[in-house]
């Protein structure tokens, strides 16, 4: 059986969230994981692949199912694969911890980085 292709972005809290879900339900090995690093050639290669195959702009995480359908968004993916694997997200304590503790912190860090970048750009 062909594996689903999982595309994640290095450092992306939404990508981590979906990986946590898959790992906690014991199905991470069902996926071929492709990591796009924003500052490396892999990012352009992966985003172009997604666009050429799906016609949509890449957002992460995104899965190309083994039948060629693309599903994007951590919550959408968790909902879809909860049904596929008959596992409720409510049963996964690590996912709850990530969503209530780590995600807000990561979002705040991302916001601070964007604001700092804007200040630098506006200064020049």
Spatial CA neighbour of 12 closest among 48, 44, 52, 60: 60
* Span 20-35, pLDDT tens digits: 999 999 999 999 999 9
Give the C-alpha separation, 92 to 67, whole Å.
27
The model's pTM is: 0.85
User: b/e per residue, 19-38, with b = 16+ CB within 10 A?
Assistant: bbbbebbeeeebbebbbbee
Strand, helix or coil for residue 4: strand
Side-chain-facing half-sphere of 3: CA atoms under 13 Å:
11
pLDDT at 2 over 90: no
Read off the tokens for 64: 């190309």
Confidence of residue 52 (pLDDT cuts 50, 70, 90): very high
* Span 72-119, pLDDT tens digits: 999 999 999 999 999 998 889 999 999 999 888 888 888 898 899 888
Helix, strand, coil percent values for the chain (each to nearest 5):
60, 15, 25
Domains in the chain: ranges and CATH = 4-123 (3.40.30.10)
């Amino acid at each position: 059986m062909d594996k689903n292709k999982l595309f994640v972005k290095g450092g992306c809290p939404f990508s981590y969230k979906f990986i946590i879900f898959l790992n906690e339900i014991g199905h991470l090995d069902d996926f071929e994981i492709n990591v796009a690093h924003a500052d490396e050639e892999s990012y352009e290669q992966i985003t172009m692949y997604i666009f050429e195959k799906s016609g949509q702009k890449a957002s992460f995480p995104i899965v190309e199912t083994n039948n060629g359908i693309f599903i994007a968004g951590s919550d959408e993916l968790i909902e879809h694969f909860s049904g596929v694997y008959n596992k409720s997200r409510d049963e996964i304590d690590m996912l709850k911890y990530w969503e209530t503790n780590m995600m807000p912190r990561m979002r705040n860090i991302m916001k601070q980085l964007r604001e700092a970048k804007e200040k630098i750009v506006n200064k020049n």
